[in-house]
């Protein structure tokens, strides 16, 4: 079996009570006790397996994706992400920061490098590593995959590891495009976090330029 077929045979989504990361399990248990109506579980990918584009974020935000159960939904970062996806026809409908807003992704799927919410939005290195098999399986099961957008350095590194590549040969840089396989290009962007957008590290124009490049790549 090829490395990709081998990864595809593994689960692309963790179990609801995934036990891999003790710190994240303890945080999840605390959140379940404090906010029982919230999702409080590994947040599954959003979008079709058959999509050509995969967007990889960092991890669910506590009161956003961890509460709603859909990546970036209810998180500050979701405002710019979903607005940009609608603008570039990778999503249709209205993004209303809730999983029942009817928004549909078109030829796109969104997941996170770490599927469980980490305390203070900061996953530890061993947690990123423990979750990488799920990202590898997600990538492997996407038979039509032609573009990955990594939001931030951690997502970039996780994608590179999941693809079985060397990080030293594939450095992160905003706006960079890495041809990682014959039919697959990895696009890097700064994360669309509140900090990056408020400080001007990432402007909406810079973010749009990344998706314009993806769109051009997919129309070739
Ligand atoms: N919400 C997510 O689901 N992922 C991120 O990276 C940030 C917010």
pLDDT tens-digit readout, 55-71 = 999 999 999 999 999 99
Length of the chain: 220
Decide if 210 contacts 149 (C-beta within 8 A): yes
How does residue 220 score in pLDDT terms, banded at 50, 70 and 90? confident
Measured in Å, residue 169 CA sits from the centre of ligand 1 at 26
Ligand 1, residues 39, 60, 127: which to mutate, most atoms within 8 A of Cβ? 60
Q: Is the pLDDT of residue 218 over 90?
A: yes
Q: Is 75 in the pocket of ligand 1 (CB under 6 A)?
A: yes
Domain that holds residue 85: 3-219
Rounded Cα distance, 126 and 128, in Å: 5
139-151 burial, b at 16+ Cβ within 10 Å, e below that, comes to bbbbeebbbbbbb
Q: What residues have CB less than 8 Å from 20, skipping those under 6 apart? A: 14, 127, 130, 131
Q: Is 154 in the pocket of ligand 1 (CB under 6 A)?
A: no
Cα dihedral sign for 72, 196, 86, 132? Answer: negative
Is residue 84 helix, strand or coil?
helix
Residue range 25-45: mean pLDDT, rounded: 98
CATH (domain of 153): 3.40.470.10
Looking at residue 23, its pLDDT comes to 98
Q: Is 135 in the pocket of ligand 1 (CB under 6 A)?
A: no
Rounded Cα distance, 180 and 129, in Å: 20
Phi, psi (deg, nearest 5) at residue 147: -150, 135
Q: Is 61 in the pocket of ligand 1 (CB under 6 A)?
A: yes
Q: Is the pLDDT of residue 5 over 60?
A: no
Q: Is the pLDDT of residue 97 over 80?
A: yes
Q: Is 112 in the pocket of ligand 1 (CB under 6 A)?
A: yes
How does residue 10 score in pLDDT terms, banded at 50, 70 and 90? confident
Rounded Cα distance, 140 and 14, in Å: 15
Looking at residue 33, its pLDDT comes to 98
Total number of domains in the chain: 1
Looking at residue 202, its pLDDT comes to 98
Q: Is 77 in the pocket of ligand 1 (CB under 6 A)?
A: yes
């Amino acid at each position: 079996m090829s490395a990709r077929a081998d990864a595809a045979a593994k689960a692309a989504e963790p179990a609801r009570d995934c036990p891999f990361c003790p710190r994240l399990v303890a945080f999840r248990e605390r959140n379940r006790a404090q906010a029982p109506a919230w999702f409080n579980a590994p947040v599954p990918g959003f979008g079709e397996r058959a999509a050509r584009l995969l967007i990889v974020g960092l991890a669910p935000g506590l009161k956003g994706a961890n509460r709603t159960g859909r990546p970036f939904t209810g998180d500050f970062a979701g405002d710019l992400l979903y607005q940009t996806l609608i603008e570039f026809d990778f999503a249709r409908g209205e993004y209303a920061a809730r999983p029942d807003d009817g928004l549909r992704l078109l030829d796109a799927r969104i997941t996170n490098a770490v599927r469980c919410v980490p305390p203070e939005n900061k996953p530890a290195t061993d947690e990123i590593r423990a979750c990488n098999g799920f990202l590898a399986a997600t990538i492997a099961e996407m038979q039509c995959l032609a573009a990955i957008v990594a939001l931030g350095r951690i997502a970039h590194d996780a994608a590179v590891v999941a693809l079985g590549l060397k990080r030293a040969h594939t450095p992160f840089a905003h706006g960079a495009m890495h041809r990682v396989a014959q039919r697959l290009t990895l696009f890097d962007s700064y994360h669309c976090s509140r900090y990056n957008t408020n400080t001007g590290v990432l402007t909406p124009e810079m973010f749009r330029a990344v998706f314009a490049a993806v769109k051009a790549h997919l129309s070739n």
